[in-house]
Amino acid sequence: MSSRFSYRKYIGVTLVALALLALPFALSAAGTAWVRIANLAILFVFLSLGLNIVVGFAGLLDLGYVAFYGVGAYVYALLASPHFGLHLPFWVILPIGASVAAIFGVLLGTPTLKLRGDYLAIVTLGFGEIVRIFLNNLSQPINITNGPQGIAQIDPIRVGGISFGQTDLFFGLSVSGPMKHYYLLLLLLLLVIVVNLRLQNSRIGRAWEAIREDEVAARAIGIDTTRVKLLAFAMGATFGGVAGGMFSSIQGFISPESFVLTESVMILAMVVLGGMGNIWGVIVGALLLSFVPELLRYTVVPLQLALFDKMLVEPEVIRMLLFGMALVLMMRFRPAGLWPLGARQREFSIDKAAK
C-alpha cells in the first residue's frame, strides 16, 4: 500500500518536473512576454515565501516588506552597472544583497520587538516608505541611487561564457534570455522551497509558531522571543533581498517606483489568499495573483470588442475590480486562505468520523 503510494508520488513529481522544464517552450510559443510573466510570477513566489516567514510563521504583520526587495535590487544594481563602474558577478552580489537585506530586517525588527498587530503594521508601513524615499532622494549630495531616474544598463547574469541577456542555441534548441532566467529562477525556487520546509519543521520553526500563538506562553516555555523574532525578520528579508537581486538582473533597469506600498500589499495579499503559514498555499496564492491579472489583460479587450464592438472599460480598471471582488469573496468564504494551514484539523475530523 505504502510502496504503491510512494511510487505514485514519484511519478507525480517527475511529471510536474517535466512540465516545469517544458513550460518556457510552450509559453514562448504564445510569446516571449509570457516567459517574462512566468519569471515575475516566480519572483513573487520568492517574495511571498519570504513574507510568509514573518507573517505566516511568526505572526508578525509586515506592511513594508517591499523595502527588502528594493534593498536587494539596489545592491545588485550598484554593484553591476556603469553607475559606479562596478561589474561584480552575480554569485558574488546575490549573497551580498541577501546579507544587506537581512541587516535591514534586523534594523526594522529591533525597534518593533514590543509591537504587535495594528501598531506593528503601522511601523513596518512607515519603514517601507522610508526606504523608498531614501532610494528616491539619495542622489544628492553624493549620487548613490541616481534618484527617481533609477539605474539602467544593469549587467545581465553571466554563467561561464553564457550571457543571460541574449539568445543561444543549445542542442539545436533556441533558448532566449528570459528562458535562461526561468531555469535559473526554477533552480533557486527549489532551493527556497527546501529551505522553507526545513525551517518550518525546525526548532526555530516551532519557536515561531509558539510566538505567533502566544508570546507570554512562548517566553514561559523558554523561547528567547527577541532573538527568534529578529531571526524571522532577517530570514524573511533575506529572501526579499535575493528576489530583488534577481529582479534587477532580469529587468536591467530599476527605479524606486518598483518598490512602492502597493507591492507590499500585493505580496501580503498573495500570502493571505493562498493560506498564511502553509508553504504550498502561499505558492498557489502568489502564482494565481501573478497570472490571473495577466490573463485578464489579454482577454478583457478582445471580449469587449467581440461583445460590444468597442472597448467600454479599460482592462486595468476591470483587473482591479475583479481583484478587489476576489479578495472580498475570499475573506467572506475562505478567511483562512485557499489552502490553509489547518491540515491537522482535517485529520481530526477524519478520526472522529471513523469512530
Q: Which residues are near another protein by CB under 8 A?
A: 114, 203, 206-207, 209-210, 213-214, 216-217, 219-226, 341-342, 344-345, 347-348, 351
Minimum CB separation from another protein for residue 228, in Å? 9
Nearer to another protein, 310 or 344 (CB): 344
Q: How far is the CB of 346 from another protein (least distance, A)?
A: 11
Q: Are 282 and 52 in contact (CB under 8 A)?
A: yes
Q: How far is the CB of 178 from another protein (least distance, A)?
A: 40
* Closest among 76, 1, 29 to 240, alpha carbons compared: 76
Nearer to another protein, 87 or 346 (CB): 346
Q: Which is nearer to another protein, 174 or 202 (CB)?
A: 202
Q: Which is nearer to another protein, 216 or 306 (CB)?
A: 216
Minimum Å gap between C-beta 217 and another protein is: 4
Place of cell 500563538: 213
The residues, ordered by sequence, that sit 6+ positions from 234 with a Cβ below 8 Å of its Cβ are 102, 103, 105, 106, 109
Q: Please check whether residue 269 is in contact with residue 44, taking contact to mean a CB–CB distance below 8 angstroms.
A: no
Smallest distance from the beta carbon of 198 to another protein, in angstroms? 18
Q: Specify the residue, 160 or 222, whose C-beta has the smaller distance to another protein.
A: 222
Tell me whether residue 161 or residue 335 sits nearer to another protein (CB atom).
335
Q: Label the pairing between strands 158-159 and 86-87.
A: unpaired
**Of the two residues 167 and 345, which places its CB atom closer to another protein in the complex?**
345
Q: DSSP letter string over 15-54?
A: HHHHHHHHHHHHHHHH-HHHHHHHHHHHHHHHHHHHHHII
CA 92 – CA 155 distance, rounded (Å): 13
- CB of residue 214 vs another protein: minimum separation in angstroms? 4
CB 127 within 8 A of CB 260: no
Quick one: residue 152, left, alpha or beta (phi over 0 = left, psi -120 to 50 = alpha)?
A: beta
| Minimum CB distance to another protein, residue 52 (Å) | 15
Torsion of CA 264, 270, 276, 279, to 10 degrees: -110
